[in-house]
Amino acid sequence: MSELLEYHSVAALARGAEERGCTISELVISDQSAFLEQDRSQLFANMKHNLDIMRASAVAGNDEKLKSRSGLSGGDGYKMGRYARSGGTSGAAGPISGSFCAAAMAKAIAIEECNAGMGRIVAAPTAGSCGILPAAILTMEEFYQTPEEALVMSLFTAGAIGLVIVREASIAGAEGGCQAECGSAAALAAAALVELRGGTPTQSADACAIAIKNQLGLVCDPVAGLVEVPCVKRNAGGVMCAIAAADMALAGIKSVIPVDEVISAMREVGEALPATLRETAQGGLAVTPTGLALKQKIFGVP
């Protein structure tokens, strides 16, 4: 590769991959090998380690008895997983969204509950949104027997897009609201899903844009200031958003607003959000009567 990538534009990543006739992940791992002066096998091994942690956190979170220290979360990943498997047994109709989507939601919830229970996770891109990307790709492995190598490579695509978002907008709820966390995670997952299904780099870029648009304006309002309510369930919503965005892109649907303009819009929306809706727990669900009562119960202060 003659020039190192700058990671300021998702469209440029997609264009570069298209011009070279490769995936975004191939473009990125080659670039990182040159930039870091490391053999690509070492980079691959490092990323596989992240995948291994994602798998372990999905298993750890799938525990009926798991409870966070606050008591606000735990056990819902197990419930969702049981429901995901209910189709065709004991006369159950099965999940409305289908087994794939229900299984993805179960993993997203379980991984975020693992985080709330002080378990080991991969911030992808943050702890508060750590269930979305892993749930998407691990469910591909479960239902489509996607090879491990492809899963690992898709994380390079997700990572590169995450780096663009970090540089051009934000992944922090305190800066940009939950759109910056779960919205960004959904964008990473959507792009990875498209690649795993054989879509083009341009389709990955479109999926990224569609996912962010569908989460644009999402506020960060954690009850009692803890990354549990509504964070855990927003991870389930985020992976569903990613799946929808990926399927739309794979169907040939394009984002009318270019992906990099969408990312810029997310930054502007985040800057416009009041401080009460940016992780301060001073607005939204955090100040509902129930939210305030839970805060008092946990911390013993009004």
Give the pLDDT of the chain (302 residues) as one tens digit per residue: 458 999 999 999 999 999 999 999 999 999 999 999 999 999 999 999 999 999 999 999 999 999 999 999 999 999 999 999 997 544 567 899 999 999 999 999 999 999 999 999 999 999 999 999 999 999 999 999 999 999 999 999 999 999 999 999 999 999 999 999 999 999 999 999 999 999 999 999 999 999 999 999 999 999 999 999 999 999 999 999 999 999 999 999 999 999 999 999 999 999 999 999 999 999 999 999 999 999 999 999 76
Supply 98's token pair.
Answer: 């289908």
82 part of a folded domain? yes
Counting beta carbons within 10 angstroms of the beta carbon of residue 189, is it exposed (0 to 12), middle (13 to 18) or buried (19 or more)?
A: buried
271 part of a folded domain? yes
18 part of a folded domain? no
Domain residues for 66? Answer: 24-299
- What is the rounded distance in angstroms from the CA atom of residue 16 to the CA atom of residue 23? 9
Name the maximum alpha-carbon separation found in the chain.
60
CATH of the domain at 69: 1.10.4100
- What is the rounded distance in angstroms from the CA atom of residue 135 to the CA atom of residue 242? 10
11 part of a folded domain? no
10 part of a folded domain? no
Triad 27, 16, 144: Cα angle to 5°: 55
16 part of a folded domain? no
- Assessment of whether the complete model's pTM goes beyond 0.85: yes
250 part of a folded domain? yes
What domain count does the chain have?
A: 1
